[in-house]
Chain A
Amino acid sequence: MEPIRVAGPIVTGKGTYTEITGIYGPASAGAGTRVDITARIKNLYSGEIGIMVGGALEYGVSPWPAINFPTYWANVAGGASIDFAGYFTMPSSGVTLHIYSYYYGGDSWYFDDERVSGISMVSEAEFGNLMVTYARV
């Protein structure tokens, strides 16, 4: 299957045809654990177009490691949103996620929108909400 091109005039720029409306995942994660996230992207165009997702992790290393998106593009109906599931391994510090969206127009993918979100590092166990009932046995 080929991505569907934008039929109208191509105007490059952030959020011209797509908008990243949400990045969903844990607020924090432990080092070395798999972190699953979801990037929700909306097609702002009136018709169906191909939308691609990309992502990178910013935490002090260069180049920024990529976020894995097993399915990284899809044709999306006009006005509809799509969720792209991605994952990465939590480094030993908090990370800033950079999520990018692209649309397909004229044989190429065009960068269109970016959104960032943070995931903090869980370094210590926390306990709470002790509740007790008792009975004779």
Chain B
Amino acid sequence: MLQLQYGDKLRFSCSFQHRGAAYTGAKLHAAIGNKGTLGFDEILNNEITVSGIVYDAIWQTYTITVDVTITSGIASGAYDTMVKLMSIPGSDIYWYGTLDDIVIVGAAEFQGLSVSYQKA
């Protein structure tokens, strides 16, 4: 479980493999939100266009980072993560993180005030 505050950045370190013709326009899309039965409900996200994919006859690994800034657009609570490799030939490729692994601790919160009194 990873706790994040407003102003933090969550850095996704992504790797994927490519072979075949050179390619431009592939995108890595990273998001924080809620994974449900109807899909992934994104709340915060960021997207990087991948450049420099050159021809290779054998699988080559590319490593890219995508930062998502934690803003007040997301409420306090536990969230899920998702990354997809998109705008590529064929279907998008998805990766999902462990459920509820991201905990947003947003604005300051207080609770549990307790008081006792006595004659002094």
Same assembly: yes
A136:B57 contact, CB within 8 angstroms:
no
Within 8 A of A (CB), among B1-45: 2-4, 8-23, 26, 30
Interface size class of A (residues with CB under 8 A): 20 to 34
Q: Is B93 an interface residue (CB 8 A)?
A: yes
- Residues of chain B contacted by A123 (CB below 8 angstroms): 20-21
Contact indicator A130/B20 (Cβ below 8 Å): no
Q: Which residue in chain A gives the minimum CB-CB distance to B2?
A: A136
B16 touches A125 (CB 8 A): no
User: Which of the residues B9, B11, B14 comes within 8 Å of A131, measured between beta carbons?
Assistant: B14
How far is B20's CA from A124's CA once the two chains are assembled, in angstroms? 6
Q: Check B107 for interface membership: any CB of A closer than 8 A.
A: no
Measured in the bound complex, the distance between the Cα atoms of B19 and A33 in whole Å is 14
B78 within 8 Å of A (CB atoms): no
Is chain A's binding surface mostly helix, strand, loop or mixed?
strand
- Check B95 against A122 for contact (C-beta < 8 Å): no
Are the C-beta atoms of B16 and A136 separated by less than 8 Å?
no
The verdict on B48 contacting chain A, using a C-beta distance below 8 Å, is no
Q: Are B2 and A130 in contact (CB under 8 A)?
A: no
> Closest residue to B94 on the A side, CB-wise?
A130
Interface residues in B81-117 by Cβ distance below 8 A to A read: 81, 83-85, 88-90, 93-95, 97
Interface residues of B (CB under 8 A from A): 2-4, 8-23, 26, 30, 53, 55, 57-59, 61, 67, 81, 83-85, 88-90, 93-95, 97
